[in-house]
Amino acid sequence: MEIKSVGIVGAGQMGNGIAHVFSLAGFDVILNDISQESLDNSLALIDVNLTRQVSREKISAEERSGALARIKTTLNLPDIAQTDLVIEAATERESVKTAIFEDLLPHLKPTTILTSNTSSISITRLASRTDRPEKFMGFHFMNPVPIMQLVELIRGIATDEETFKTCLGVVEKLGKTSASAEDFPGFIVNRILMPMINEAVYTLYEGVGSVASIDSSMKLGANHPMGPLELADFIGLDTCLAIMNVLHDGLADTKYRPCPLLTKYVEAGWLGRKTERGFYDYRGETPVPTR
């Protein structure tokens, strides 16, 4: 089937980026959230990011205005149910995601494809709670969405070939590259990335190096564009911990045990950039390591 309209659940960090790239690619977008403030902030951020792309001559002023005109917002979840494709980009908690899909089900078109932007939760399990497991997929964007080129496509055990090929075509229309991943905890990217971040936290926890020395070592010694602790702050330490718990629970291997120091930071509410404190303190002019 041809996808023309897209409904996005969640106007946070990922949702606004997903809305940005879909509207710019010519799709009609309806963005849903439970907070009007979040919707307003999301639209403002999309405007800022599109304007930046115009200033860098990545897109034209006409493309910017066209993209903004294609985005509508709503506080009413059923408003997005008649779109061709739904992308859930809510909090990384299975209970929240399941509740969203259950609320949508009575209002959906028979042909609507359901997807989740989850970074680690079982697609098969989420799909099983809907009336269309064959039309359900993982559609995992990387952050920040307008910049990162990869989209992980994850088939559940029941996902049919038509749904997969349709989503593959959508990724191509967005101008991004897809990677097909099997439905196992963490998929590809986070199965590899999160244990690296967790090991960096263990390295800090055990006193092998400081925050600055760990990040500098990986940037200069492994040519990473961002150190692992700096990256953890960018992603959100609560998200990192949630994914490590999914890996630990789902794969039953002690090598995925979350570092106690990561848990301690999350308990303190020091979640990284979004709370202005994590492995770095962002409240001043320049970030300062907290350990």
Burial bucket for residue 179 (CB in 10 Å: 0-12, 13-18, 19+): middle
Sheet arrangement for strand 136-141: 71-74, 28-32, 5-9, 85-88, 113-116, 136-141, 150-155, 177-181
Count of Cβ atoms closer than 10 Å to residue 104 Cβ: 21
Helix (H, G, I), strand (E, B) or coil at 205: helix
| Residues belonging to the active site | 119, 140, 152, 190
Euclidean distance between CA atoms 121 and 90, whole angstroms: 12
- 271, 236 in Cβ contact below 8 A? yes
